[in-house]
Chain A
Amino acid sequence: DAGITQSPRYKITETGRQVTLMCHQTWSHSYMFWYRQDLGHGLRLIYYSAAADITDKGEVPDGYVVSRSKTENFPLTLESATRSQTSVYFCASSVGGIVGGEQYFGPGTRLTVT
């Protein structure tokens, strides 16, 4: 599990600020995903990427921006943070998407927007 890491693990920011959450994996997995986890909603997909320079929207993409210039990194940026984006964010990766099987999750980033 040390193959996928997230930073920072905890972040407090103010409304309106830009914040970037980092995700790094060492397995050279093609697919990477960003989820948010909120009580009562389970895990919801924000964005995913099938390969470097290929990204697509998930269920709740509004207010978020992603990029993937390198296979191993998949940063998530909140361009202007809002209180509703207070959540736990999980990054995940997999060899080949759903067909490729298991998604491996990172340890999560707890973000609080004040």
Chain B
Amino acid sequence: GENVEQHPSTLSVQEGDSAVIKCTYSDSASNYFPWYKQELGKRPQLIIDIRSNVGEKKDQRIAVTLNKTAKHFSLHITETQPEDSAVYFCAAALFGNEKLTFGTGTRLTIIP
């Protein structure tokens, strides 16, 4: 089955700087890659996703890039703000197979 590795497990950045979280996946057939944000004590929420026919997707300060050859995808957050502090999870899945495989999460702390 699919295996998703996520790095780093913790990340601290100064407010206003950029943060990058990287995930690698094992199944080359996977074609859907969402990112979820989970604030302390809250439920996970989708923040951005990318499909394998696209190399990059942006939504305001958040972007995701996908390298299918290397089987990795990354979350980029620019101009970080205190409200970006949370745990971020990447995931991978194959259309038609409803099983999202999640990474182990990255705890992002924004230092004011």
Taking Cβ atoms with an 8 Å cutoff, the residues of A that contact B are 1, 31, 33, 40-45, 48, 50, 56, 58-59, 90, 97-99, 101-103, 105-108
Contacts and interface: CB of A to CB of B under 8 A. Distances in A.
B97 interface: yes
B103 A98 contact: no
Given A43-B89, A59-B99, A105 B104 contact: no
A83 to B, nearest CB: 21
Contacts of B6: 42
A45 B32 CA distance: 16
Interface residues of B, number: 25
Contacts of B102: 42-44
A93 to B, nearest CB: 12
Contact of B100 (A45, A106, A107): A45
Interface stretch (B38-46, B60-68, B78-86): B38-46
